[in-house]
Amino acid sequence: MKKVPFVTKAQIEEIVKKYPTPFHIYDEKGIRENAKALYEAFSWNKGFKEYFAVKATPNPFLMQLLKEYGCGSDCSSMAELMLSEAAGITGKDIMFSSNDTPLEEFAYCEKLGGIINLDDITHIEAVEKSVGYLPKTMSCRYNPGGVFQMSNGIMDNPGDSKYGMTEAQIVQAFQIMKEKGVENFGIHAFLASNTVTNEYYPMLAKVLFELAVKLKEKTGAKITFINLSGGIGIPYTPQQEANDIYIIGEGVKKVYEEVLVPAGMGDVALYTELGRYMMGPYGALVTQVIHEKHIHKEYIGTDACAANLMRPAIYGAYHHITVLGKEDETCDYTYDVTGSLCENCDKFAVDRKLPKIDKGDYLFIHDAGAHGHSMGYNYNGKLRSAELLLKENGEVQLIRRAETLKDYFATLDCFEIGKKLTTM
Ligand SMILES: *Cc1c(COP(=O)(O)O)cnc(C)c1O
């Protein structure tokens, strides 16, 4: 699929007058259209709800945009619970899918009225200890083990993953919790990440729906929802074809009618916890070229670095790059596009075919809307950039300011040397 930036060079030249590069920018129109389509695709299911995976893009303004469509939030830490609360997302609009969980986080989730999705059977006791009782609605995360393979070769390895419980453990967990007064049950599984195929969700749905039927038969538990979690991917490369959420919705519907309806479970609500799919394509890292270097290879140096977007550095992930204003020029140069960290993996692109790049050019690094800014860090004393929202009316709204050196030194401010640094 051809990669087209959602801003032009002229727009960026205007924006940088107020907000210097590098920055992350999000496309309100794209976010809205995508959220609307997701809800349409699952409108056949009465209780459908998307719990946006906050970790992908933990910005309360974006969370509020999604809330307009009915989205809740999927949290996995204290900070994410607090962000959700601040964004006005509380009660059953919170899903708490955490693992290796500190006790006080269960209590905070319950205080907000959120749904706790247990990662481990021992967490039944942990919740009782933390909350003082078991909430009336509880969910369990499933790990079927083995490998999960789709026909296009995409494979993931649940057997090697730290998450979830075995089937026998969930049976036991449901029995224990039912005895202790839990009334509504849910199940959840996340078996493959960033799947660019319409096949994943229906296959996962079959696994979970069949488990739900078994659990109902074995434990008599009332299963009120099934959480298909995240994992629907996005096409990072121009060669990949995007998922079709309507085909995915229809695929899940077919399995729902084959497995759940005949078992008398046609009232089960479906939940999703998408992160990347909701935000990935609708955010970009915009950076300016500040340097070029010609040694054994051709290097283009930018004013951003892996601290702004670390996926290429840690996973070798591909992020498409458009040189703004040169969209139609032929890509007859080969560059490594780098950041300034003292780590050789700090390259946004390696051996990338691009048009001739000049100092001062703006690069639009695509698909940085999820796991982009959120994975930011301060290595080498680099500061996290601002986040901007390109509104539907063309205006730009600052939704997180850039860090300053004062922020960077803040954790030293209880010492004399820190006071000196923060006032320098
Ligand atoms: C990361 C995560 C998600 C979101 O995954 P995406 O691939 O971004 O859709 C959903 N649920 C849980 C529990 C997660 O850890």
Let me know whether 285 and 250 are in one domain: no
- Residues near 278 by beta carbon (within 8 Å), at least 6 away in sequence: 31, 34, 35, 38, 50, 52, 53, 56, 66, 71, 370
Residue 95 near residue 51, CB atoms below 8 Å = yes
Atom of ligand 1 nearest to the CA of 56: 8
E strand or H helix that includes residue 15: helix 9-15
**Between these two residues, 401 and 155, which has the higher pLDDT value?**
401
**Res 176: pLDDT:** 98
Residue 91 falls in which region: left (phi positive, over 0), alpha (psi -120 to 50) or beta? left
**Does residue 386 have its Cβ closer than 6 Å to ligand 1?**
no
**Res 193: pLDDT:** 92
Percent of the chain scoring above 70 in pLDDT:
100
Domain count, the chain: 2
Let me know whether 320 and 194 are in one domain: no
For a substitution probing ligand 1, which of 191, 197, 273, 276 has the most ligand atoms within 8 Å of its CB? 273
Atom of ligand 1 nearest to the CA of 277: 9
Let me know whether 136 and 273 are in one domain: yes
- Is 144 within the bounds of a domain? yes
**Does residue 275 have its Cβ closer than 6 Å to ligand 1?**
yes
Let me know whether 48 and 101 are in one domain: yes
Let me know whether 62 and 113 are in one domain: yes
DSSP 8-state class, residue 257: I
Q: Of 280, 313, 329, which one is at a domain's C-terminal end?
A: 280
State how far the alpha carbon of 422 is from the alpha carbons of 376, 379, 382, 400, in Å. Answer: 21, 18, 16, 21
Let me know whether 312 and 230 are in one domain: no
Q: What is the DSSP string of 276-301?
A: HHHHGGGEEEEEEEEEEEESSSEEEE
Let me know whether 235 and 134 are in one domain: yes
Exposure letters 17-27 (e unless 16+ CB within 10 A, then b): eebebbbbbbb
- Is 423 within the bounds of a domain? no
**Res 237: pLDDT:** 97
Q: Which CATH number characterizes residue 298's domain?
A: 2.40.37.10
**Res 142: pLDDT:** 98
**Res 152: pLDDT:** 76
pTM of the model: 0.97
Q: What is the mean pLDDT of the chain?
A: 97
| 216 phi/psi in degrees, rounded to 5 | -65, -45
For a substitution probing ligand 1, which of 96, 116, 190, 236 has the most ligand atoms within 8 Å of its CB? 190
Q: Of 253, 280, 307, which one is at a domain's C-terminal end?
A: 280
pLDDT tens digits, one per residue of 76-108: 999 999 999 999 999 999 999 999 999 999 999
Q: What is the DSSP string of 302-356?
A: ES--TTT--HHHHH-----EEETT-TTS---EEEEEE-SSSSTT-EEEEEEEE--
Let me know whether 262 and 291 are in one domain: no
- Is 424 within the bounds of a domain? no
**Res 71: pLDDT:** 98
- Is 78 within the bounds of a domain? yes
Let me know whether 247 and 354 are in one domain: no
**Res 59: pLDDT:** 98
Let me know whether 255 and 288 are in one domain: no
Let me know whether 253 and 391 are in one domain: no
Atom of ligand 1 nearest to the CA of 275: 8
What is the C-alpha radius of gyration for the chain, rounded to an integer number of angstroms? 23
**Res 126: pLDDT:** 97
**Does residue 312 have its Cβ closer than 6 Å to ligand 1?**
no
DSSP 8-state class, residue 158: G
Q: Which CATH number characterizes residue 51's domain?
A: 3.20.20.10
**Res 246: pLDDT:** 98
Full domain range(s) for residue 315: 281-412
Q: Please say whether the dihedral angle defined by the alpha carbons of residues 336, 342, 344 and 345, taken in this order, is positive or negative.
A: negative
Let me know whether 387 and 326 are in one domain: yes
**Does residue 282 have its Cβ closer than 6 Å to ligand 1?**
no
pLDDT tens digits, one per residue of 152-169: 777 789 999 999 999 999
**Res 381: pLDDT:** 96
Q: Of 280, 304, 327, which one is at a domain's C-terminal end?
A: 280
